[in-house]
Amino acid sequence: MGLGAVAGINLYATVLAVGLGVNLGLIVLSPHLAGLAVLGHPLIVLVAGVMYTMEFFADKIPWFDSAWDAIHTFIRPIGAAWLGAVALGHVDPALAVAAFLLAGSVALSTHATKASVRLIANGSPEPFSNVLLSVSEDVAAVTGVWLALAHPVLAGVLAAAFLGGFALVAPRLLRVLRAQAQGLAALYRAWTGRGAAADEVFDVLPSGHAELLAPEFGVQGDFALRCVAGRSVGAPAWTTGYLCLAGRRLAVLARRGFGVREYLIDATRLDEIRVRPGFLFDRLSLRSGARTVEVLVFRDRRAALDGVVRRLEAVRGLALAPTA
């Protein structure tokens, strides 16, 4: 489990560290881990070294690192599961299968956590966070190999604790990964000109969402725009939904469990409407008093976002107009 957790962060660094350690005599494998001696084979060390070198540079390039992680969603857990099975050597088949499943599960959890953190870091405008994270992951991989081989019980306990913690935060991580994957697809559509046509500015609400809005929804001036919930919306962060206006009723509609919930935004006193363009998402900030609501809009909906801002400005103007 300890090796599986480390392999989920960086499979090639794990294999290379064990292989070089065995070759150079820095690692003396205990009898119950004798199966790992195969990692010291020169061919395995060479392949692991080449792949680690590629990952070392790929991991430090914003967005390319996320594409690399996407490819390794299958490679790291399977490689870690193989390490878990091979490490035990010739044992009872039931124990070998259990080791395969445990190592693979822990590796999937650490890989998903790493990929999610990288996706969030890629949203920052500077590239230094990627380099810092990459170096930290390399150090964690080498340190984790030492811990797993020198103190396997402690490493196993830590890996099990991480797996339990991952189960608690997995829904949020899955929302992040889902939203970022949709964002990458939208960015591709924007770059290739496959986004919505100019006469199809707004989105069409699914029937389950439309039922929550006022009956007058759909009249001229109203809109629905697919978005991702940001801060202060009320919905869990990174939840995909729709920013909607029905009359003067502004809300984010998002699916929760088996139903759809409405998260209202006070449109009667919008103090500030601001758009900050981004690489993957454009950020729409709506300040109402002390509360600032932020939604993320997909890049291929930039034309629609301009229309949303115009309509919100109109609503704001009506709210500020003096009454007779």
Residue 320 has pLDDT above 80, yes or no: no
Q: Determine contact, residues 203/304, Cβ cutoff 8 Å.
A: yes
User: Per residue in 89-147, pLDDT tens?
Assistant: 777 788 888 888 888 888 988 888 888 888 777 766 566 777 888 888 889 888 988 89
Burial of residue 153 (CB within 10 Å: 0-12, 13-18, 19+) is exposed
pLDDT at 197: 45
User: Per residue in 19-78, pLDDT tens?
Assistant: 998 888 888 877 777 788 888 889 999 999 999 999 999 888 877 887 888 888 889 999
Domains annotated for the chain, with CATH where assigned, are 2-190 (no CATH), 207-320 (2.30.29.30)
* Residue among 51, 49, 76, 54 nearest 65 (CA): 54
User: Per residue in 293-317, pLDDT tens?
Assistant: 999 999 888 888 988 998 888 877 7
Q: Determine contact, residues 318/160, Cβ cutoff 8 Å.
A: no
Give the pLDDT band (50/70/90) at residue 214. Answer: low
* Residue among 271, 252, 250, 277 nearest 263 (CA): 252
**Exposure of 245 in the CB half-sphere (CA atoms within 13 A):** 23
Tell me how far apart the alpha carbons of residues 282 and 278 are, in angstroms, rounded to a whole number. Answer: 5
Which position has the token pair 């061919």? Answer: 43
